[in-house]
A and B are shown apart, each in its own frame.
Chain A
Amino acid sequence: MTTIPADLKYTKDHEWVRVESGPDGDIATVGITQFAAEALGDVVYVDLPEAGSTITSGETCGEVESTKSVSDLYAPLTGEVTEVNAAVVDDPSLVNAESFEGGWLFRVRVADGLDDLLDADGYRAVVESA
């Protein structure tokens, strides 16, 4: 059974979001779920949005490639990208090994879209119907 941490938010596209409130507003850390990482197989390349760019909820903002397949990355939120995980660009296997920790992909200053995210139970239902 795949791990679905209760303290994270999710999208139906198998991304997870950790929201932390700061002085500048909400900052969301985004990654792909363990379920998605396992389905993809060994991730060998990630193409991420650039820091400073603005992404729009639901639109393609990058891609994740394994030996077997490639998947688009959809922006889970609207906002400005504040940081990209250089470690995962260097070593994409972190997406498989530490999906919810060291395998995070990028951070976004949240402008919109938080209310559309799923909670852990909502995401579990997505996984179980997959």
Chain B
Amino acid sequence: MTRQTALSGIHESLGASFTDFAGWRMPLRYGSELAEHHAVRNAAGLFDLSHMGEIEVVGPQAAALLDHALVGDISAIAVTKAKYTMICQEDGGILDDLIVYRLEDDRYMVVANASNAETVLTALQERADGFDAEVQDRRDDWALVAIQGPEASAILSELTDADLPALKYYAILETTVAGRPARLARTGYTGEDGFEIFSDPADAPAIWEALSTAGAERGLIPAGLACRDSLRLEAAMPLYGNELSTATTPYAAGLGRVVKLDKPGGFVGRDALAAVSEQPIARVRVGLRPEGRRAPRHGYPVVDPASGETVGEVTSGAPSPTLGYPIAMAYVDQALAEPGTRLDVDVRGTRVPAEVVALPFYKRSR
């Protein structure tokens, strides 16, 4: 059964093309995904992300439970701040990557990927055993609209009394947007400045329309999942199912910094991750810049031109709209992961030379 968000009617009226994503009918693009991509880089884009999975963890031992269940130091998050973290299996494999917001001393909001929300909910509930804290499924209680891009702050400031300059990256506050109660976070998945606005689904259409109107003359346009993917790829942000999976650990993904091995009391996956952290990693995540104009795509083999052997696999790739040439992320053998290394990608039967480059491909000027 495909679900639709509270903004579905608006997307229809805007002429969106839809795609099925993790059981949700989501806007893929409204017109040109290239125009939407450039709008986010140069002005602002408006996204419906209501498919994301909100889970709240509440109670005196909420922090202790999340320290046990997740790989990061969750009790150290200050109230009103957020952290990028992961939930792993006992064997260290990644179940999902998450943003955790600390709303109050005893209340956290965990935001999971739509495709993994059920898995994360179940895992948190299981891991809550013995803790004085409750794991609440709040997926149906929140719509999520994101405004992303260099103009996002100026546009949003017309619709909220919140002190936006004081709201730092990875922080959240309770406020109103367009007169509707909202949780406003300075987070995103585009590599630009921007905000994510959690609201009652019934209020989401009013918030969306107000942002559309306020942003129109600053170049804001609605933006779909197609450009969200090309934006996050340029920013080298991992996507679960591409760069992250249960077969990958945070270390191989180049995200070992999110793992806090020495938390008192340990955490699920701690022993496996500790072992991984002490060994050389077989394959690591790298950036690739291929020659020519053909983009490597998910699943294409990476080949060592010297030996002809397969030494890795592309996880995401596309022609970069901002840079004007193809880019890709891949897992390759550690020995071949240094920037400047020459590799080949098998692009549908043709060997395309590619150079290992540092990530991210794109970083905004601040």
A-side residues, CB < 8 A to B, are: 38, 41-42, 44-45, 47, 63, 65, 67-70, 93, 96
Residues on B with C-beta less than 8 A from A96 are 32
- Is B168 in contact with chain A by the CB < 8 A criterion? no
Q: How far is the CA of A47 from the CA of B226 in the complex (A)?
A: 22
- A42 (CB) vs chain B CBs: closest residue: B34
Q: How far is the CA of A42 from the CA of B32 in the complex (A)?
A: 6
Residues on A with C-beta less than 8 A from B285 are none
Residues on A with C-beta less than 8 A from B319 are 44-45, 65, 67
Residues on B with C-beta less than 8 A from A38 are 17
CB distance from A25 to the nearest CB of B (A): 33
CB distance from A82 to the nearest CB of B (A): 24
Residues on B with C-beta less than 8 A from A68 are 33, 226, 229, 318
Whether the Cβ atoms of B32 and A70 lie closer than 8 Å is no
- Is B342 in contact with chain A by the CB < 8 A criterion? no
- Is B230 in contact with chain A by the CB < 8 A criterion? yes
B169-177, B205-213, B289-297 - the one binding chain A: B289-297
Q: How far is the CA of A33 from the CA of B230 in the complex (A)?
A: 25
CB < 8 Å neighbour of A67 from B17, B33, B293, B294: B33
- A41 (CB) vs chain B CBs: closest residue: B33
- Is B321 in contact with chain A by the CB < 8 A criterion? yes
- B233 (CB) vs chain A CBs: closest residue: A67
B-side residues, CB < 8 A to A, are: 17, 28-29, 32-34, 37, 226-227, 229-230, 293-295, 297, 318-319, 321, 348
- A68 (CB) vs chain B CBs: closest residue: B226
Whether the Cβ atoms of A67 and B226 lie closer than 8 Å is yes
A41 and B295 contact, Cβ closer than 8 Å, known pairs A65-B319, A67-B318, A67-B319: no
Whether the Cβ atoms of B34 and A44 lie closer than 8 Å is yes
User: What are 12 contact pairs spanning A and B, CB under 8 A?
Assistant: A41-B28, A41-B33, A41-B226, A42-B33, A42-B34, A44-B34, A44-B321, A63-B294, A63-B348, A65-B295, A67-B34, A67-B321
CB distance from B321 to the nearest CB of A (A): 6
What number of A-B contacts does a CB cutoff of 8 Å give?
43
CB distance from A121 to the nearest CB of B (A): 25
Residues on B with C-beta less than 8 A from A44 are 34, 293, 319, 321
Residues on A with C-beta less than 8 A from B37 are 67
Residues on A with C-beta less than 8 A from B34 are 42, 44, 67, 93
CB distance from A76 to the nearest CB of B (A): 20
- B34 (CB) vs chain A CBs: closest residue: A42
- B295 (CB) vs chain A CBs: closest residue: A65
Q: How far is the CA of A65 from the CA of B319 in the complex (A)?
A: 9
A67 and B230 contact, Cβ closer than 8 Å, known pairs A42-B32, A45-B319: yes
The 5 closest A-B pairs by CB, nearest first: A42-B34, A44-B319, A45-B293, A67-B230, A67-B318
Tell which of B230, B319, B321 has the most Cβ of chain A within 10 Å.
B319
CB < 8 Å neighbour of B29 from A41, A45, A70: A41
Whether the Cβ atoms of B226 and A70 lie closer than 8 Å is no
Q: How far is the CA of A24 from the CA of B40 in the complex (A)?
A: 51
Q: How far is the CA of A56 from the CA of B293 in the complex (A)?
A: 25
CB distance from A28 to the nearest CB of B (A): 26
Residues on A with C-beta less than 8 A from B229 are 68
CB distance from A49 to the nearest CB of B (A): 15
Residues on B with C-beta less than 8 A from A65 are 293-295, 319
- B292 (CB) vs chain A CBs: closest residue: A45
Q: How far is the CA of A70 from the CA of B318 in the complex (A)?
A: 10
